[in-house]
C-alpha cells in the first residue's frame, strides 16, 4: 500500500492517492497502536508521505484524507518525538488556520473540514508529544487561538472549529505552565474566555426563548465545559490574597466577574438534568481555584441576596453522596468549595448550614442512619479514606461554628472523636470569631429528649437500669478498682494505651495506671457528692 502511494505521488495521480489513503483510514479507524508498522520503518515513511502531500496546494484534493491519516497515526506516541519536526507542526497549523494572526480568522465553508481535521491532528500531537507543546509556546499558536475565539459569535464560526480550538487550548494549558502565563499575562485570555462563556449562555437563553424548548443545546453544553476546563488550568496555581495591599483591583474584579458568570450558569433553567450535572461539576472544579472572599458572588444577584446557586451546589453534593461507593475525587471539589465559602462568608455558611444541618428533629436515630445530607456526611466521618473523612469533618465543624458541643449534638461524639483528637479540640471553647448563637434555637423534639440523648451515639437512648443501684459504696469502689486492674493488665500487654486529655486538647498517654485510678476515683467522688449533696462524710 505504501509503495502504491509513493508511485501515485510520483505520477501526480492524486485521485489515486486519495483513494489509497481512504482505504488506510477505513482499515485503521479503530487502531491506537501501530506496532506492526514500526518494525520495517513503514510508519515513518507513511508519516512523511502524508506531510509531503500536505506541503503544497497542488495536492489539495488529498489534504482532508492525509490529515485524517495523520490523526490516526498520531494516536501512537512510540516514535512521535523523533519523527515530528517543526515543519510538520507548521504544516498542521497552516491547515488549521493557526500559522499566523492574519489567516486565523479567515474561515470559509469550503475549508472548514480541513481546519477541523488540522485541529484534531494538533490535539492528538500536543497530547502525545512534549516537543510540540514547547513549539506551540514559542510560536503564534495561542495568539491565534485567543484571537479567533474573540470572533466566534461575530463571524458565525462552526461549532466543530470552536470545540477543537478550545480543546487544543485546554491541552496546551494543561501541559505547559509557560503557555498559561502567556495567555493570562500577555494575551488577557481570562477576560476573553469569560466573555465567550457569557456569550454562550446568553445566546443559548435567547435560542431557548425563541424555540420554546426547555433544554440548552448539547453543543453549547459541551463547548461550555471545555471553556471551564481551560479557565481551571489558567487559574489553578494563581496566588491571590485580598488582604495584600499590593493586589491589583483589576485582578480582583476579574475574579468577581468570573464567579458572577459561574453563578448564572448553574442557576439557569435551560439545562436538562444530565447537562446540569456536567456543567455544575466543571463549575465546582473551577470554584476551588477562586479566592474564598470572592465566593460571596454566589449569594448575590442584582445586589440582592440570592442563594439559589448554593442550593444547586449542595444538591450536587447530595447526588454525589447517594452512591454506595463515594470516591474522594468525586466529592472533594464540592466539599472544598463549601468549606472555603463557609469559613470566609457568614451568609454563605448560614445558607449551607440550613441545608446540611437544619434544626435537629430526628433524635431517635443515629446521625449516620438515614438518607438526609447530614446522615450521608456523618457516615463519611468513619470512612477509611483519611482525606475524605478529614474534609467532611472540617466542613461540619465549621458549619457548627467550631463549637465542640454543637458538633457532638449533630454528629455524635463517636463519629467526631477522631477530628477532636487530631485537632486538639477536646477542651476547646467556642470560637469567638463567629456570630452569636441566636439562630441556633433547639427544636421541641430535641428539648423534649435532651437529657436522654447519648452524646456518644448522637441520638435518644432509652433509660437503662443503674448497675450500681443495689451496691454499697464499698462494692462500687471495688468494681471501679476491678476495672482499673483489668485496664492495667491490657496496658501492660500492649493491647490498649489509656489516655487522658492534655492541656492542648489532645489525648495524652498516661505513664502509669495510678493516674487513671486517681481520675476515676475523683470522678466517682464527684458523682457521689452530686447524688448526696447533704452528705458531709469523707
Report pLDDT digits (tens) over 113-144. Answer: 999 999 999 999 999 999 999 999 889 999 99
* pLDDT for 246: 43
Q: Under a CB-based contact definition with an 8 Å cutoff, are residues 117 and 64 in contact?
A: yes
**Cα distance between residue 529 and residue 50, in whole Å:** 95
* pLDDT for 345: 92
Cα angle value 209/161/89 (rounded, 5°): 165
Same domain for 507 and 404: no
98 domain residue, yes or no: no
Neighbours of 417 (CB within 10 A): 18
Same domain for 293 and 413: no
Instruction: Look up the domain containing 494 and give its range.
Output: 473-531
pLDDT over 90, % of the chain: 42
Same domain for 335 and 205: yes
Q: Which residues lie across from 460 on neighbouring strands?
A: 453
Instruction: Tell me the pLDDT band of 244, cut-offs 50, 70 and 90.
Output: very low
Neighbours of 168 (CB within 10 A): 25
Same domain for 426 and 404: yes
Closest alpha carbon to 333 in 273, 290, 375: 290
Number of domains in the chain: 3
**Cα distance between residue 106 and residue 97, in whole Å:** 7
Alpha carbons within 13 A on the beta-carbon side of 331:
25
Q: Per-residue b/e over 254-289, b at no fewer than 16 CB within 10 Å?
A: bbbbbbbbbbbbbbbebbeeebbebbbbbbbbbbbb
* Higher per-residue confidence, 251 vs 37: 37
Least confident of 179-193, 414-428, 483-497: 414-428
Same domain for 439 and 487: no
**Cα distance between residue 145 and residue 164, in whole Å:** 10
Mean pLDDT in the chain? 83
Q: Does position 356 have pLDDT exceeding 50, yes or no?
A: yes
Q: Does position 384 have pLDDT exceeding 50, yes or no?
A: yes
Domain end residue (candidates: 460, 486, 504): 460
**Cα distance between residue 346 and residue 52, in whole Å:** 64
Using DSSP's 3-state secondary structure scheme, residue 183 falls into: helix
Using DSSP's 3-state secondary structure scheme, residue 222 falls into: helix
* pLDDT for 361: 84
55 domain residue, yes or no: no
* Higher per-residue confidence, 247 vs 106: 106
Contacts with 449 (C-beta within 8 Å, 6 or more apart), sequence order:
363, 460
Domain end residue (candidates: 404, 429, 460): 460
Q: Does position 437 have pLDDT exceeding 60, yes or no?
A: no
pTM: 0.83
Contacts with 190 (C-beta within 8 Å, 6 or more apart), sequence order:
183, 184, 231, 234, 235, 254, 258
Instruction: Tell me the pLDDT band of 433, cut-offs 50, 70 and 90.
Output: low
CA distances from 234 to 173, 224, 303, 399 (A): 7, 15, 28, 31
* pLDDT for 538: 35
409 domain residue, yes or no: yes
Same domain for 306 and 447: no
Domain end residue (candidates: 460, 483, 516): 460
Same domain for 494 and 430: no
Using DSSP's 3-state secondary structure scheme, residue 455 falls into: coil
276 domain residue, yes or no: yes
275 domain residue, yes or no: yes
Same domain for 306 and 205: yes
Same domain for 477 and 412: no
* pLDDT for 518: 63
Q: How is residue 63 written as a grid cell?
A: 489534504
**Cα distance between residue 315 and residue 324, in whole Å:** 17
Least confident of 171-180, 289-298, 476-485, 507-516: 507-516
292 domain residue, yes or no: yes
Same domain for 335 and 213: yes
Contacts with 206 (C-beta within 8 Å, 6 or more apart), sequence order:
none
Q: Under a CB-based contact definition with an 8 Å cutoff, are residues 363 and 453 in contact?
A: yes
Neighbours of 327 (CB within 10 A): 11
* Higher per-residue confidence, 245 vs 20: 20
**Cα distance between residue 263 and residue 267, in whole Å:** 6
Instruction: Tell me the pLDDT band of 317, cut-offs 50, 70 and 90.
Output: very high
Least confident of 70-74, 325-329, 339-343: 325-329
Same domain for 494 and 448: no
Same domain for 308 and 207: yes
pLDDT over 70, % of the chain: 84
Cα 288 to its chain centre, rounded Å, is 7
Mean pLDDT of 101-112: 78
Least confident of 85-94, 106-115, 404-413, 462-471: 462-471
Q: Does position 442 have pLDDT exceeding 80, yes or no?
A: no
Least confident of 176-190, 219-233, 307-321, 462-476: 462-476
Least confident of 64-73, 78-87, 216-225, 340-349: 216-225
* pLDDT for 537: 37
408 domain residue, yes or no: yes
Mean pLDDT of 522-534: 52
CA distances from 351 to 307, 342, 435 (A): 7, 9, 14
45 domain residue, yes or no: no
Amino acid at each position: 500500500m505504501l509503495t502504491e502511494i509513493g508511485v501515485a505521488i510520483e505520477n501526480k495521480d492524486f485521485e489515486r492517492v486519495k483513494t489509497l489513503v481512504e482505504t488506510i483510514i477505513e482499515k485503521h479507524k479503530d487502531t491506537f497502536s501501530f506496532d506492526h508498522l514500526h518494525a520495517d520503518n513503514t510508519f515513518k515513511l507513511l508519516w512523511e508521505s502524508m506531510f509531503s502531500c500536505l506541503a503544497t496546494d497542488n495536492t489539495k484534493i488529498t489534504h482532508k484524507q492525509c490529515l485524517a491519516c495523520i490523526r490516526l497515526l498520531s494516536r501512537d506516541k512510540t516514535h512521535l518525538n523523533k519523527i515530528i519536526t517543526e515543519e510538520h507542526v507548521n504544516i498542521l497549523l497552516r491547515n488549521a488556520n493557526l500559522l499566523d494572526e492574519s489567516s486565523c480568522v479567515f474561515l470559509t465553508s469550503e475549508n472548514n473540514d480541513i481546519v477541523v481535521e488540522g485541529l484534531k491532528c494538533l490535539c492528538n500531537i500536543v497530547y502525545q508529544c512534549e516537543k510540540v507543546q514547547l513549539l506551540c509556546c514559542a510560536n503564534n499558536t495561542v495568539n491565534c487561538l485567543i484571537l479567533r475565539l474573540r470572533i466566534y459569535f461575530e463571524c458565525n464560526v462552526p461549532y466543530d472549529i470552536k470545540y477543537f480550538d478550545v480543546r487544543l487550548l485546554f491541552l496546551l494549558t494543561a501541559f505547559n505552565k509557560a503557555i498559561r502565563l502567556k495567555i493570562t499575562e500577555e494575551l488577557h485570555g481570562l477576560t476573553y474566555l469569560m466573555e465567550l462563556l457569557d456569550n454562550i449562555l446568553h445566546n443559548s437563553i435567547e435560542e431557548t426563548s425563541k424555540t420554546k424548548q426547555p433544554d440548552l443545546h448539547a453543543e453549547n453544553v459541551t463547548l461550555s465545559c471545555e471553556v471551564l476546563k481551560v479557565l481551571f488550568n489558567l487559574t489553578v496555581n494563581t496566588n491571590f490574597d485580598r488582604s495584600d495591599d499590593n493586589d491589583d483591583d483589576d485582578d480582583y474584579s476579574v475574579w468577581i466577574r468570573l464567579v458572577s458568570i459561574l453563578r448564572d450558569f448553574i442557576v439557569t433553567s435551560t439545562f436538562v438534568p444530565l447537562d446540569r450535572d456536567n456543567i455544575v461539576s466543571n463549575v465546582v472544579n473551577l470554584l476551588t481555584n477562586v479566592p474564598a472572599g470572592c465566593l460571596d458572588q454566589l449569594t448575590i444577584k442584582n445586589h440582592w441576596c440570592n442563594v439559589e446557586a448554593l442550593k444547586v451546589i449542595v444538591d450536587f453534593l447530595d447526588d454525589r453522596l447517594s452512591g454506595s461507593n463515594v470516591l474522594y475525587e468525586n466529592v472533594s471539589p464540592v466539599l472544598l468549595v463549601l468549606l472555603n465559602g463557609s469559613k470566609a462568608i457568614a451568609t454563605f455558611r448560614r445558607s449551607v448550614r440550613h441545608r446540611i444541618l437544619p434544626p435537629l428533629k430526628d433524635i431517635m436515630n443515629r446521625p449516620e442512619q438515614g438518607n438526609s445530607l447530614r446522615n450521608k456526611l456523618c457516615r463519611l466521618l468513619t470512612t477509611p479514606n483519611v482525606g475524605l473523612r478529614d474534609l467532611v469533618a472540617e466542613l461540619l465543624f465549621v458549619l457548627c461554628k467550631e463549637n465542640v458541643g454543637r458538633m457532638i449534638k449533630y454528629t455524635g461524639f463517636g463519629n467526631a472523636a477522631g477530628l477532636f483528637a487530631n485537632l486538639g479540640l477536646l477542651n476547646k471553647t467556642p470560637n469567638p470569631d463567629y456570630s452569636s448563637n441566636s439562630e441556633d434555637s433547639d427544636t421541641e423534639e430535641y428539648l423534649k429528649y435532651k437529657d436522654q440523648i447519648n452524646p456518644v451515639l448522637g441520638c435518644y437512648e432509652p433509660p437503662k437500669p443503674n448497675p450500681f443501684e443495689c451496691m454499697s459504696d464499698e462494692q462500687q469502689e471495688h468494681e471501679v478498682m476491678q476495672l482499673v486492674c483489668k485496664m492495667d493488665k491490657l496496658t501492660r500487654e500492649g493491647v490498649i494505651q489509656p489516655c487522658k486529655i492534655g492541656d492542648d486538647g489532645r489525648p495524652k498517654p498516661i505513664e502509669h495506671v495510678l493516674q487513671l485510678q486517681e481520675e476515676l476515683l475523683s470522678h466517682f467522688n464527684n458523682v457521689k457528692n452530686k447524688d448526696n449533696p447533704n452528705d458531709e462524710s469523707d
